[in-house]
Structure 1
Amino acid sequence: MKNQLRRFDRSGNFFPSFFSSYLNDDVFNNLAENSLPATNISESENSFGIELSVPGFKKEDIKIEIEKNILKVSAQSEENTEEKDENERVLRREFKTSSFVRSFTIPENVDTESITASQKDGVLQITLPKQINAIEDKVKKIEIQ
């Protein structure tokens, strides 16, 4: 008698359904992970730092807000291209949209009035200086330099 290879899906079922093998596939997990920008978070004695990889986004496309203790970084970009022939007839029209929203819970000791942000070479850097006072209950926009 030959050894038969038994296949289990990720939930441990012996007979996986047709869809479970596709819905649990790493491809779908990678798509979800790739929709958010890669992020580095650091802490020093005086501040916290957040770096986000945002290639293709201009600083005008990015919005940074704080409400209570939530820092929200969002961006939306749209690109349209059109190719015409010598008679001005459209030969090809393409568009591309990109967007993301990323939220971070920030500690109460962050000085929300002194947060700064800059963007260079596709990397958005946000610096959150520390303070002793608690966060105020208001929404504040942070301008990218």
Structure 2
Amino acid sequence: MSELVKKNTLFPAFFDDFFTKDFINWNDKNFTKFGSTLPSANIKEDDKTYMIQIAVPGLRKEDFEIEYKNGILSVSSEKKVEKEDKDKEGNYIRKEFTYSTFQRTFSLPEDIMEDKIEANYKEGILTVNINKKEVKPVIAKKTIMVK
């Protein structure tokens, strides 16, 4: 699970990755236990939004399932493709099945607007925009004069 929090730069990334990844996969960040490729994600933040970009070429917008529940954003996809070549009699010369799936989860901070999460898919990049709650400025101490 990825978190939208700033990394602690006090320790090298090696320690961060070692203790947050599965021990079996500590040497290879891009593969899950079952050998399927896990798409890379970029996370950006500005004053008003968080933006998550996931590189997933070759899919359609209908292939994605995006859910938010209890502070967790889950992005997943499952795609099955069958390709077959037959001879004149209809016998298989070759038949190939392709199956790909992934799921990425992100732990979101409390300062988001849950009803303002939007996603779009363009040129192989899935972009999820998450609006932040408006932060009210803290008013400094004010002395009130008694009349």
Q: Same fold (TM over 0.5)?
A: yes
User: 2:69 matched to 1:67?
Assistant: yes
- List structure 1 segments (4+ residues) > 3 angstroms apart after TM superposition: 23-26
**What's the offset of the Cα at 1:132?**
4.8
Structure-1-length-normalised TM-score? 0.69
Give the structure 2 partner of residue 103 of structure 1.
Answer: 105
Equivalent residue letter for 2:113: D
The CA deviation string for residues 90-142 of structure 1, in whole angstroms up to 9 with x for no partner, is 11100111111100000111111111100001000000001159xxxxxxxxx
Aligned Cα root-mean-square deviation (Å): 2.2
User: 2:90 matched to 1:88?
Assistant: yes
Aligned residues: 109
1:19-98 matches, within 5 Å, as: 29=28, 32=31, 35-98=37-100
Q: Which runs of 5+ in 2 are unaligned?
A: 1-23, 136-147
Equivalent residue letter for 2:104: R
Secondary structure of 2:115's aligned partner = helix
**What's the offset of the Cα at 1:35?**
1.8
Q: Answer 1 or 2: which has greater helix percent.
A: 1
User: 2:128 matched to 1:129?
Assistant: no
The CA deviation string for residues 31-73 of structure 1, in whole angstroms up to 9 with x for no partner, is 6267211100010110000000011221111100000100000
Structure-2-length-normalised TM-score? 0.68
